[in-house]
Amino acid sequence: MSVDLVVKLTDELVYAKTGKHLDELQRSILRGSWHGQHYAEIAEEVRRTEGYVREVGASVWRLLSDVTGETIEKKSFRAAMERITNIAGESTYSNVANSRIIVAINHSYNHLCAEAQEAPFKSTDSEDWRDRGSFDTMPDTEGFIGREDVLETLTRWTVEEECRLIGLWGLPMVGKSSLAAQFVDRVANQFSAVIWRTITSDTDPHTLAAEIAELLSRGSPPPIRPKPPQDRLFNRLQTERCLLILDGLEAAFLGGSWAGTWRAEMADFASLLDRAARGRHPSCILVTSREQPLDWVSWEEKYKRTRSRTLNGLNLEDALALLQEQNLTAPEAWSELVEVYRGHPGWLKAAARSTQTWFGGNAAEFVSFGGWLCEGILASLNGLYDRLTDSEKHTLSFLSQQSTPVAIASLRQVLNLSAMESLTIIESLRRRSLLEMSRLGSTTTINLAPGLRTWVKDGFLQR
C-alpha cells in the first residue's frame, strides 16, 4: 500500500469525523511516520522546529485515536492503518467509533484504490503526468514479449515497497530498455511526473541534474537562493513522487578497467545515485546498464529500498513465441536456437534475420550451418571487448576452451592467480553479465553460455 493512498485515506477518515481536512504539515508528519522518520528528520524537511513538529504530531495521534476508536501513536501508525484497511468491507470492526466511520473506511478505501489503479495520478496543479514528463528517447513497447515475472517484481518494488533506487543489468540487446519502457507504461499513473534520459558518453551529470530539476520545477516560483543542480533536483524528488529513468548508464564507466568503474567526469552520477538510495523521498530512480556500478553492492547492503535485477534470456515458452513472430520455418530446430542463445531476445531476432536472408527462413539450415555469430550479434558484443581488462580477456579465453563448468578454485590454480586476483576478475565479469554461475554440490562453478563461448573463441581471434 503506497503512502499517498494512506495519507488520502487518513484524510478522508478525519474529514468524515470532523468535517475538516488535514493540513500540509499534518500530511508530512503522516508520510514521515509511515517511512519511519524521526521528528527531527521531518522537521528538517518541512523547515520547522523539532519541538513544533512534535507538538503537531501529538495532536495528530490524538485526532486519529478519536477517529478510529483505538490508541494510535507515531510508532504504531503504520500497523494501525494496515490493520484498518485490511478490515475494509467488514462490519464487525467494533473498535471503530461509529457506523459513519465504518462507511468512510469502506467508501474511501475502495474509491482510492480504484483511483490509484485506473486514473492517472494528478499532481497538485491537476496536470497529467505526461504533461510533466520527458521521454522522447523511450523505446516503443509494441511487440514486447514475456518478462511478466520481472514486471511484477519491479511493480511490487516501486508501488508496494516504495523503493527509491532500482537497477536493471544485462548483456547488450537483452531488452533492458524495452523492459524499462514497459514498466513505465505499467506504473506511470502512480507518479506525478516521469522523466526518461538516455546516457551517452557526452552526457554531463551536472547539466543533466539541472535540466531535470528545471523540468520538474515548471510553474513553481524560483528559489530565493540558488542551489547546486543536485540539491534542486532532490528538492523536487522529495516534494512529489517522480519516476526518473537513466537508460544506458554503462556510458558513464571507464573502458579497460574493472566493470562499473566511473569515468572521472561522470563521478557525479555516483553521488546522485547514492543520494537517491540513502535519502528520504517518495520518488524512484531506475537505471539500466550493461555493467553494474562498483558502488551498487554496498548501496543494496546499506539501504533497504535499493534493489536490482540481472536480466537473463526469455523462458522457453516466450522465446519460442518470439521466434514464431519472426516467420521462421522448421520449428523442430527452434529449441536449439533458444538453447544456444540462452533465450536472449535480441540475439534470437538477429539470428532470425540472418536465417531469413541466407536460408529462406529455415531454422534447421541455420542450425546446421552453425553461424552463431551473425552480424547483428557480433556487432553487439564487439563493443564489450574494448571494455575488458587484459585479465578478463585471458580468463574468458580459458573458459571458452572448457567443455564443462569450472570450479573457482581450479580457475585460480590454472591461471596462477592469488585469491584476491581471481575473485576480482570473476566479480568484474559477473557485473558485466558474462558468466553463468552455479553450485555443484558444495562447489561454486562458472561457465560461458554457448553463444558467448563462440564469440570468445572466434571473435577474440578476429580482434
Mean pLDDT by 10 residues, the chain (463 residues): 76 82 87 86 79 89 87 88 62 41 46 44 41 68 87 94 96 94 90 91 93 81 74 89 95 95 95 93 95 95 94 94 92 93 92 92 90 78 88 92 89 88 94 90 88 80 56
Instruction: Compute the CA torsion angle 65, 67, 70, 72 (nearest 10 deg).
Output: -30
| Residue 79, C-alpha cell as written in the block | 500497523
Coil, strand or helix at 282: coil
Residues 293 and 178 placed together within one structural domain of the fold: yes
User: Cα-flanking dihedrals φ and ψ of residue 5, to 5°?
Assistant: -65, -40
Residues 260 and 276 placed together within one structural domain of the fold: yes
Q: In this structure, is residue 124 part of a structural domain?
A: no
The amino acid at residue 345 is P
Q: In this structure, is residue 414 part of a structural domain?
A: yes
Residues 114 and 139 placed together within one structural domain of the fold: no
| CATH number of the CATH domain containing 191 | 3.40.50.300
Q: Does pTM surpass 0.75?
A: no
- Residue 95 has a pLDDT of 44
Q: In this structure, is residue 123 part of a structural domain?
A: no
pLDDT tens digit string along 375-384?
A: 778 878 888 8
Residues 329 and 455 placed together within one structural domain of the fold: no
Total tally of structural domains belonging to the chain: 4
Q: In this structure, is residue 14 part of a structural domain?
A: yes
Residues 290 and 245 placed together within one structural domain of the fold: yes
Q: In this structure, is residue 133 part of a structural domain?
A: yes
Residues 299 and 414 placed together within one structural domain of the fold: no
Structural domain containing residue 282: 129-310
- Residue 19 has a pLDDT of 82
Q: Which residues pair with 438 in a beta bridge?
A: 445
Residues 227 and 134 placed together within one structural domain of the fold: yes
Question: Which among 34, 194, 196 has a CA at the least distance from the CA of 120?
Answer: 194
Is there a contact between 169 and 292 (Cβ–Cβ < 8 Å)? yes
Q: In this structure, is residue 376 part of a structural domain?
A: no
Q: In this structure, is residue 432 part of a structural domain?
A: yes
Residues 348 and 447 placed together within one structural domain of the fold: no
- Residue 459 has a pLDDT of 61
Which residues neighbour 150 within 8 Å (Cβ) at sequence distance 6 or greater?
179, 309, 311
Measure the CA–CA gap between 228 and 443, rounded to whole angstroms.
50
